[in-house]
Amino acid sequence: MPSLPRPRILSDALLASGLMAAPPAMAVTEESQAWITESLAIRASEADMVTLDMSQRFRRDRSDDEQALFRVALDHRVARGVLIGGGIAYVEGRKEEEMRLFQQVTLNKGIWLARTRLEQRFFDTADEASWRLRQRVQASVPVDRDGRWTVVGAMEVFFHLNRARASDKSGLAVMRHQVGLRHAVSPAMDVQLLYMRQQNFRDRRPDAVAHVPWLTLSWKI
């Protein structure tokens, strides 16, 4: 593709400064995982939704082997397309256990969804809480007239706001990209299959990249 014209002096200066400031590239370590999630959404009232979900994450030893997550959330609609909520989660792995509290704001408009979540994570291997901010943006595009098949694309970034342990990283820690397909099997059940690329950014070590097929079964009552 031909490059667009640009001011020569300014572009050369920016290129030179970028090369001098850029850190040396590091290789990444890659692995394959497989995740399965079961989710149940219960409408408690016209404005309130309770969600129960659990996930099984099949991972290798270097990623703490297999992991299980259990989560309960309550979301309350405060305006059209605006939900506020929170909940609690428990994560069990071979090397550590985690109890997690979280608060979130979710915005919906058309095909777009944006969610901001703040988490307080309590590990059995740390003496203080680890605070994490997550920002997710998702597009869901129906591809048939009945709306039973939907293409889903999403990106989510994770920021660690403190260091609960000396080995923890602060700042941008994780980035996820997802693409897949969701199918409404019935008015009460959806099946979704995504491919997710997850990149963990690490200090003074190669980044860790995971390639994850992710199957989600969702029920609504």
Q: Where are the alpha helices (DSSP H) in 28-164?
A: none
Note whether residue 181 is domain-resident: yes
Residue 157 lies in a domain: yes
For residue 100, count other CB atoms closer than 10 A to its CB. 19
Band (62; pLDDT cuts 50, 70, 90): low
Condensed to tens digits (0 to 9), the pLDDT of residues 2-35 reads 444 444 443 444 344 444 443 444 568 999 999 9
| Residue of 106, 101, 115, 109 whose CA lies nearest to 77 | 106
Domain presence at residue 9: no
Residue 16 lies in a domain: no
pLDDT mean over 168-192: 96
Give the mean pLDDT of 102-111. Answer: 98
Q: Is residue 54 part of a domain?
A: yes
Please give the residue range of the domain that contains residue 121.
29-220
User: Positive or negative, the Cα torsion across 206, 94, 125, 170?
Assistant: positive
pLDDT above 60: residue 133: yes
Predicted pLDDT at 132: 98
Q: How many domains does the chain have?
A: 1
pLDDT above 70 as % of the chain:
86
Beta bridge partners of 5: none
Least confident span in 4-13, 171-180, 187-196: 4-13
Can you say how many angstroms the Cα of residue 22 is from the centroid of all Cα atoms in its chain? Answer: 27
CATH of the domain at 35: 2.40.160.40
Mean pLDDT computed over 197-217: 95
